[in-house]
Copies of this chain bind each other. A is one copy, B any other.
């Protein structure tokens, strides 16, 4: 299973948001042993809803790695039922956030453990162990960070209101990560960065603005990434001008950026050593390399499990090449 070029003694730290990131994380989980892979997950999307703490990106990662996920939609559980939500609607409750019956157990258990004093890292590790996820899935922080979306009419929306309730319709002007200045990277994030065998820091093809930036902008992370001996490689979430999932391309246009892989590379400039783009974007390679970022052109659209594994192995190989 293990890629020949990635030695058994080397480890990879993946930084992931939700659906897109989880696809690559699953590929990595097939390419590496569980000891070789740590996954740090964005928690800026987390929110309080109906008295529960909901962590959409962590759940997507856990469900994906536990083979529980709904493969068509990418989030939520397979064979899910929706009777809670139907009954909630009858009782005048908010039904804009999709809460499946099985999924609800995750939110209720997590919320109770947090109220009992567990950290989010502890809850996440506990869930992974119960669901057979052997990789270390780590929240970026155990302190609450809340992504806020500034929209054109001057209002500010919490991320899930923008993303789910309003279906990304409002025109955005920028973002804030409320609480980030007081947040610490989680102990597990520190440990993964401090791992002597760390050979690749991989930024998954997640939304740069709302999935990756909250992780990178945690106090101290920029410095730790620069200090790390391992190369930082990002996979573009934009392919041929389109975000395969989510509003990244729309956001870029609204922020006055071209929705190109070059613009994503510029966004990450100074923080990454390598960039992975799809074959359909090959023309941008010279311009990205002009930024001082080594660029790998490969197939980055992940439809099948084999696509995920192939991209994971290409990224690991690329990181090893940069490292040499």
How far does the Cβ of A176 sit from chain B's closest Cβ, in whole Å?
Answer: 26
Whole-angstrom distance between the alpha carbons of A175 and B225 in the complex? Answer: 62
Whole-angstrom distance between the alpha carbons of A214 and B178 in the complex? Answer: 48
In the complex, the answer to whether A105 meets B91 with C-beta atoms within 8 Å is yes
B residues within 8 A CB of A88? 105, 108-109
List 15 A-B pairs, Cβ < 8 Å.
Answer: A50-B108, A51-B111, A77-B87, A83-B102, A84-B105, A88-B105, A88-B108, A88-B109, A90-B105, A91-B105, A91-B109, A93-B105, A93-B108, A93-B109, A104-B104
- In chain A, residues 56-82, which have Cβ atoms closer than 8 Å to a Cβ of chain B? 77, 80-81
Whole-angstrom distance between the alpha carbons of A104 and B99 in the complex? Answer: 12
Whole-angstrom distance between the alpha carbons of A109 and B89 in the complex? Answer: 10
How far does the Cβ of A55 sit from chain B's closest Cβ, in whole Å?
Answer: 14
How far does the Cβ of A50 sit from chain B's closest Cβ, in whole Å?
Answer: 5
Of all chain B residues, the one with the shortest Cβ separation from A129 is B92
Return the CB mask of A27-59 against B: 1 if under 8 Å, else 0: 000000000000000000000001110000000
Additional 11 contacts, C-beta under 8 A, given A84-B108, A88-B109, A93-B112: A50-B108, A51-B52, A51-B111, A51-B115, A84-B102, A84-B104, A88-B105, A91-B106, A91-B130, A91-B131, A93-B105
Q: Is A127 an interface residue (CB 8 A)?
A: yes
Of all chain B residues, the one with the shortest Cβ separation from A86 is B102
Q: Is A126 an interface residue (CB 8 A)?
A: yes
How far does the Cβ of A233 sit from chain B's closest Cβ, in whole Å?
Answer: 34
Q: Is A187 an interface residue (CB 8 A)?
A: no
Given contacts A87-B105, A106-B87, A92 and B126 within 8 Å (CB-CB): yes
B residues within 8 A CB of A126? 92
In the complex, the answer to whether A92 meets B130 with C-beta atoms within 8 Å is yes
A contact face: mostly helix, strand, loop, or mixed: helix
B residues within 8 A CB of A90? 105, 130-131
Partner of A83, one of B80, B86, B109, B127: B80
Return the CB mask of A143-186 against B: 1 if under 8 Å, else 0: 00000000000000000000000000000000000000000000
Q: Is A266 an interface residue (CB 8 A)?
A: no
Q: Is A101 an interface residue (CB 8 A)?
A: yes
Given contacts A51-B51, A101-B101, A127 and B86 within 8 Å (CB-CB): no
Whole-angstrom distance between the alpha carbons of A77 and B105 in the complex? Answer: 19
B residues within 8 A CB of A81? 81, 83, 101
B residues within 8 A CB of A127? 91
B residues within 8 A CB of A80? 83
B residues within 8 A CB of A86? 102
B residues within 8 A CB of A52? 51, 108
Return the CB mask of A86-124 against B: 1 if under 8 Å, else 0: 111011110000001111111011011001000000000
Whole-angstrom distance between the alpha carbons of A199 and B204 in the complex? Answer: 72
B residues within 8 A CB of A104? 84, 87, 101, 104
How far does the Cβ of A76 sit from chain B's closest Cβ, in whole Å?
Answer: 12
